[in-house]
Structure 1
Amino acid sequence: MYNVSRCSHGSAHRAPCSLLAEKAKYLDQLRAHGYFIVERLADDALLEQVERELEPWFAATPRCRGDFYGWNTTRFGALLLKSRASHELVLNELILAIMDEVLGPHCDWYQLNLSQGIRIHPGERQQVPHRDEEMWPCAKGRAEYLVNVMWALSDYTAENGATRLWPRSQFASLSRDVTNEHAAIAEMPRGSALVYLGSVTHCGGANLSNAPRTGLILSYSLGWLKQYENAFLTYPPQVASEFSKPIRDLLGYRIHRPNLGGYEGQDPAVLFETDSHTLAAIDAIPPAVALELQAHYQNRAAGLEGGVG
């Protein structure tokens, strides 16, 4: 078994300056191995609030049915609606700093791809090895499409189904026949965050213990991709209007330049002000493209004045 790259960190739910100062180290680990762990990144008070808000949903949600989701596992989405405290996890400073570096260069802005509660119950078998980028049926390899963050709401151990990852698998073709001998087990204490690339082969482990393993997945992806969790159905404008602007932005209530994902030709954030269908369409294009358009018309005007063409 491989040892998982990790950093031990006291108990603070917001990344302090010391963690942000070590961002380069985390990025190196992520790019080289495909993942890293920050231990106890969320403090006990925040975790307890998240657990109070989500436990009724874990209790009420039927167990999954399928060879991918599992037959003895509980999963549900819409975490931002079901737990207001989870917003702090979504906006964690260190996590967003990592997303800025990995996803930011390849899109106008990145988005929240998925929010999911996961409880692996005793007796669940090991999940099939997979890569989360498989959900997009197109060529991969030129950029990362998403980065996942697994927040541990219970201790993760080899016995209770801790996530298994195959180090450096992002540099090889996907295989479902990888062996556990070459896997890393993401053992980590409650409150820790496992950050891993969508291009890394991984799976949920088998729960051989007598207690469930509980965690949250918050996944971030390039802003021009279709999200795993349909944010506009999960959090329609009347719901999202109660959220902070940073959360609304991550859900996609902003236009992705050039002119992608608008409402009546405007930034969809206009829905928090009006639901009118008679709005003036407004350009939403990157500054460099805006300069190209201006130069085009300036050159054309100059040519006409000079009698050219």
Structure 2
Amino acid sequence: MSVETWTRQIHQNGYCIIPDALDKGTIDKLAGDLDPVFAATPFCKGDFYGHRTKRFGGLLKRSRHMEPLVLHPGILALAETVLGQACDRIQLNVAQAIEIHPGEVCQVPHRDHDMWAGAKGEHEYLLNVIWPLDPFTWENGGTQIYPDSHGARGMTREDLGQPIIAQGKPGAAICFLGSTAHGAGANTTADARRSVIVGYSLGWLKPYENPWLAYPPQVARSFSPELAALAGYVQHRPNLGNYEGQCPSVLLGGEVPTHFPAIDALRPDQASMVAEFARSRRAEP
């Protein structure tokens, strides 16, 4: 996939749909692993989540076939390009499965970045990627995305206009910004439609899904270092998300010490400023 092409599209339109981003075989294996979880999960409660919709998270511990979605090199490159100038590193915001059943009504249009109360418009907070497990169509509740509703200018629009239906087959990646208005469509068919959503956000934000409860150390020890870092086992400079003053990845090794020395984890500019201040104080008579 051409990261430059998709980056240009998502900045221009607020979304992009990447066909064949991943092989269908991997998606089918993931769908098979999630089948019993969908069957056991009760319907949501609430007009936002939906009354004929099922949702559950923690997907990295439910199927080993989730890792290729979360660590997709092209998608990660897109997320870094969209978010990287506003943070030291990105993080996994959510890995959630969604099943919309017949009779579900369309979801209220919304922007996912509104889960955070910070000022909007200067930078993006989030990149979401929907991976269809079933084909997305107008009839079965394919996600409705409002083009050009993103960013500082798009957020001033009083009329969102007409949405497009994010149509795609398993293997496609439907990407949209946190500032892009969207909502699940109504399912007027006789069959449920399923998808997985993977979200990446600025590393200094509180994530939508609590990663340390979803993936406690005994689970995250089986992750690759890159995946563990995305799932919260890393610090965001300066010193955010630390455990006893150290990177929380210390919990994923062998024997974990009872006591730790706290270690600075500063940005280069902060480290230089602190070092200069310390030198000046040591030089004083």
Q: TM over 0.5: same fold?
A: yes
- Structure 1: runs of 5 or more not aligned: 1-18
The equivalent residue for 1:123 is 103
**SS of 1:289's equivalent?**
helix
Aligned position for 2:134: 154
| Residue 174 of structure 1: how far off its partner (Å) | 7.1
Question: Counterpart in 2 of 1:262?
Answer: 242
Assess if the C-alpha contact under 8 Å between 2:155 and 2:179 holds in 1. Answer: no
Partner of 2:191: 211
- Partner of 2:155 in structure 1? 173
User: How many Å apart are 1:24 and its aligned residue?
Assistant: 1.4
Distance in 2, matches of 1:119 and 1:174, equals: 32
- May I ask how many residue pairs the two structures share in their alignment? 282
Runs of 4+ in 1 over 6 A off after TM superposition: none
Residues in 1 aligned to 2:267 and 2:118: alpha-carbon distance in whole angstroms: 25
Partner of 2:273 in structure 1? Answer: 292
**Conserved? CA contact 1:259–1:283, under 8 Å:** yes
The one-letter amino acid of 2:225's match is K
Name the TM-score, length of structure 1 as normaliser: 0.87
- Take 1:39 and 1:67, find their aligned partners in 2: how far apart are those partners? 31
CA distance in 2, matches of 1:232, 1:270: 14
Tell whether 2:52 aligns with 1:69. Answer: no
Q: CA deviation at 1:238?
A: 0.8
Superposed CA offset, 1:168-194 (max 9, x none): 11133378x856x61111111222110
Q: State the distance in 1 between where 2:59 and 2:71 align.
A: 13
Per the alignment, in what secondary structure is the counterpart of residue 64 of structure 2? coil
Cα contact 2:146–2:181 (8 A) shared by 1: yes
Secondary structure at 1:225 match in 2: coil
CA distance in 2 between partners of 1:189 and 1:264 (Å) = 46
Amino acid in structure 2 at the alignment position of 1:215: S
Answer with 121-130 or 166-175: which moved more.
Answer: 166-175
Larger Rg: 1
Tell me the equivalent position of 1:9. none
Deviation for aligned residue 1:301: 4.5
1:119-173 residue CA offsets vs partner (Å, 9 max, x unmatched): 1111110001111111112211111111000001111111111100111111333
Give the equivalent residue in structure 1 for 2:61.
Answer: 81
Stretch moving more, 219-228 or 101-110: 101-110
**Partners of 2:53 and 2:126 in 1: CA distance:** 24
Instruction: Indicate conservation of the 8 Å contact 1:144/1:198, yes or no.
Output: yes
Give the fraction of aligned pairs with identical amino acids, expressed as a percent: 45
